[in-house]
A and B are shown apart, each in its own frame.
Chain A
Amino acid sequence: MKIKFFGVLFPLTLVLILGGQGCTVKAVGDPNRPITINANVVIDIRGLKKTATNIEDMISEEA
């Protein structure tokens, strides 16, 4: 139980959480063959749309 929780579940949860937050997690093992989990950048589409709308409004308003 102890080994299973601290040895497997907790590290796995941390990897999932950190991966979701946009970090790159490197598993240490064979230094010649590191396992790399690619960074995952979360893009907020609503925020991006607000930015796009502001820019397009600025371009059209002052035309």
Chain B
Amino acid sequence: MRHKIFITTLITVFLCLGQLSVLRAESNYDIKQMTPAIQAAVQNRKIRYEELQRFKADGLIGETRQGFVKALQDSPQAEQFASQENSDRKTIYQAIVNQNDLGPAGMGKVKAVFAEVQREKARAGDWIEQSSGEWIKKQG
């Protein structure tokens, strides 16, 4: 009886340790397969990058807390630009979720993390939406 309990406890402890190592190890998420659609989305964003910075500097576009951009003023040009940029971002986010099996809750996490990175990378004077939903002009 005692022997059985000892063995069972030992197995449980090993399983618990395995669980802890899963939580502690830093996972490596990546775009594992560069499909033509993903490649096009990345390339489009590279081409669009400098113009996006100009839109941001002019206060026409801001970074949302959902990892997308938003036209902040009534400008059809900025709105169209934001729509194209968001479409490409969505392709990239979806690729990360699908290729890393992040599950149904994955998209929300991916968007939130990309939004955080965008806030960090934003230049002084750019409009950014805080995780609380408040829009602020980034300070230098």
Contact = CB atoms under 8 A, between A and B. Distances in A.
Interface of A: 2, 5-6, 10, 13-14, 17, 20-21, 39, 41-53, 55-56, 58-60, 62-63
Given A42-B23, A63-B50, A48 B110 contact: yes
Contacts of A39: 103
Contacts, number: 82
17 contacts: A6-B4, A13-B12, A14-B15, A21-B22, A41-B105, A42-B22, A43-B106, A46-B26, A47-B27, A48-B27, A48-B110, A48-B113, A49-B116, A52-B116, A52-B117, A56-B118, A56-B121
Contact of B42 (A5, A20, A42, A59): A59
A21 B21 CA distance: 11
A61 to B, nearest CB: 9
Interface residues of B, number: 39
A6 B15 CA distance: 16
Contacts of B110: 48, 52
Interface of B: 1, 4-5, 8, 12, 15-16, 18-19, 22-23, 25-31, 42, 45-47, 49-50, 92, 96, 101-103, 105-106, 109-110, 113-114, 116-118, 121
A55 B102 contact: no
Contacts of A17: 12, 15-16, 19
Nearest to A14: B15
Nearest to B44: A59
A59 B109 CA distance: 21
B103 A59 contact: no
